[in-house]
Structures are given as C-alpha cells and as structure tokens.
Amino acid sequence: MPIAASTRAGPAAPKVRDITGAVYFLAITVFLVADADLIARLTHAHPYGMGFTKFAALATFGECLKNRLAAGYWLPSRLSLRVLIWGIFGLWIPAAFPFMDGGTRTLASLHLWPAEPAALWMSIWINLFAGFGFFMMFMHYWTDSMLMQGIHASWQLLGRPETVRWGKVILISIVLFWIPAHTMTFLLPPVWRILFAAYLGIALGLIPSFASTNG
C-alpha cells in the first residue's frame, strides 16, 4: 500500500508527519481557545453542523493518533469514510448534552432521582443509560469492523474473542475515564462544555480504536 511504503522512506519522513500532526492539533487548539465566543455562536446557530464538524475533525484525529502509535504512520485506511462516520456520531452530542442536563434536573425536581451531585448523575446517565457507553461505541466498533472486513450484521460480532476484549476495554474506560470526564464536562458552563467535549472527541477516537483489533 502507498501509505505503508511511505513509512520506509527514511527516518526523516515520520518526523515530518509528526510535526504535521502537532501543527494540526495546535491549530485546532488555538482556534477553539481564541475564538470561544465564535464557537459558541456557531454552535447555538448550527448545533448539529458543529457537532458533525468537531467530531469529524477531532475524533478522527484521535483515531489517526492511535494509528501512528500502533502502526507507525498517521493515516488509517479509508480515512474519508472514517471522517464521515465520526461526523455522523457527532450529530448525537448536541441533543444528548442538554437532554441529560434537563432530564436529570427534571427527575430531581419530581423527587425521582437525587439532585446532587448533579454533574455526576448527568455523567452516569449519559454513559450508562443514554446510549454513549453501548450504542455509540458499539456502533463505532461495528462500522470499523465493516471498513476492514466488508458489510456484515452487528450480531455477527458477538462471541468473537476480539469483541470480548473490546467490551472489557470499553467497560474499563467508561468507569475510569468517561464518567469522570463527563462529570467535569457537566460542571462547566455550557460554552466550555462545548470546547471540552471537542477535546474529548480525541479520546473518543483513540480509545475505541485501541479496543478494536480491526483498526
């Protein structure tokens, strides 16, 4: 493959690509931090478009980073399809965050759920009960498998040794990383939740990709 061949071009080539990756990450960081008000306005005006864009840019970068660490080069196969898939997953976030916030507070006001610590309960709901832990990550695992092996039903993944490994890694990541990370997210004002979630998109691309042996 051309990408694999390029990794043998000499010791300078990986360093150049590493600099390119660092520049990409720093450019996004500068834009998000320097233009926080612009990001907030755009997110308010176009929530789903911005959700698509942030996940396409940052979650895909996390997957590319995983590829660099695991395979020695940045760009995984079928990159354009991976960008599209992550962007589609990003459409879920603009609705999920306010849904968890408002829903948890409503349950508390009706005395159907504890009111405090509110941010922790929102994080537990989004990770364990609202689809992030299973639906989004399993969908990523399934689509990643189809990119490498062709189209197949999701239930065909069940019982595979790699699926057992994937499940263990994802479960550990939910308990040790995602619940604490989303607790921090919900502690922030809405505009900073947007920026923080954008960076969590890198981990979202990195962790499921390491959990899968197909990527």
Cis peptide leading into 117, omega within 30 of 0? Answer: yes
Spatial neighbors of 50 by CB under 8 A, at least 6 apart, are 39, 42, 43, 94, 194
d(CA 109, CA 112): 8
Q: What angle do CA 172, 80, 134 make, to 5 degrees?
A: 25
Predicted TM-score (pTM) of the model is 0.79
Give the model confidence (pLDDT) of 84-102 as tens digits: 998 998 888 888 888 889 9
Using DSSP, state whether 117 is helix, strand or coil. Answer: coil
Q: What percent of the chain has pLDDT over 70?
A: 88
Total structural domains within the chain:
1
In this predicted model, what pLDDT tens digit does every residue of 106-158 receive, in sequence order?
999 999 999 999 999 999 999 988 777 778 888 888 988 898 889 999 889 98
**Residue-by-residue DSSP string for 46-72:** SHHHHHHHHIIIIIHHHHHHHHHHHHS
Out of 8-17, 41-50, 170-179, which region has the weakest mean confidence (pLDDT)? 8-17
Residue 104 clears pLDDT 90, i.e. is over it: yes
> Average pLDDT, stretch 35-57?
85
Residue 55 · residue 208 · CB < 8 Å: no
- What is the span of the domain harbouring residue 96? 2-211
